[in-house]
Structure 1
Amino acid sequence: MTHSDPAGLARFLTLADVATVLAISVHQAYALVRSGELPAIKIGASGHWRVEHSVLDAYIAGKYEENRRRGMWQQAEYADVAELFGDR
């Protein structure tokens, strides 16, 4: 019995699948896994990498949050500039 997500896909994705979802190359997906930025597991004797759907979803959500925080930080930096020079 295989576990499937609500869309009917397999629980685990290949690096090619991950690359397609993220619109990057397979080489870039491999680099994310090798660096540990994107958690994955090796399956089988030949050690094929697999990424669980939920892990990829969490990775994507984390990237959105990272970008949101970066944007807020940049806005805060610019908001403080006028205050530093007494322009308010």
Structure 2
Amino acid sequence: MEPRFLLLTDVAAELNVSDSQVYHMVRSGELPAIKIGGRGQWRVERARLEEYIARKYDETADWVQSNPLVDRDAEQ
């Protein structure tokens, strides 16, 4: 069974980005997370990570639709 909450390093590995990029996403509010424990360690709920990924797919699809590839051979 997969853990409900992930360390930021686990999230970074899952997204194939750096730990500092994940920390920035969490601190900016882009990726929802919680602080727990006496030392205030960050945790990201797996469900929130999956929602974030789905949202990024939607944003990317919108961007692709708004920025179509231009066939350079057709312009000549």
Normalised by the length of structure 1, the TM-score is: 0.75
In the alignment, structure 1 segments of 5+ residues that lack a partner are 1-7, 79-88
Which one of 33, 51, 56 corresponds to residue 49 of structure 2? 56
Q: Does 1:35 align with 2:28?
A: yes
In the alignment, structure 2 segments of 5+ residues that lack a partner are 71-76
The equivalent residue for 2:61 is 68
Q: RMSD between aligned alpha carbons?
A: 1.0
The equivalent residue for 1:11 is 4
Query: Which whole-Å CA distance do the structure 1 matches of 2:8 and 2:53 have between them?
Result: 15
Aligned residues: 69
Query: Which whole-Å CA distance do the structure 1 matches of 2:67 and 2:20 have between them?
Result: 31
How far does residue 73 in structure 1 lie from its aligned partner after superposition?
A: 1.4
Letter in 2 for 1:59: Y
Letter in 1 for 2:16: A
Between structure 1 and structure 2, the one with the greater Rg is 1
Identity of aligned residues (%): 51
Runs of 4+ in 1 over 2 A off after TM superposition: none
How far does residue 9 in structure 1 lie from its aligned partner after superposition?
A: 1.1
> Aligned with 1:45: secondary structure?
coil
Letter in 2 for 1:19: A
Query: Which whole-Å CA distance do the structure 1 matches of 2:21 and 2:67 have between them?
Result: 27
Query: Which whole-Å CA distance do the structure 1 matches of 2:35 and 2:67 have between them?
Result: 39
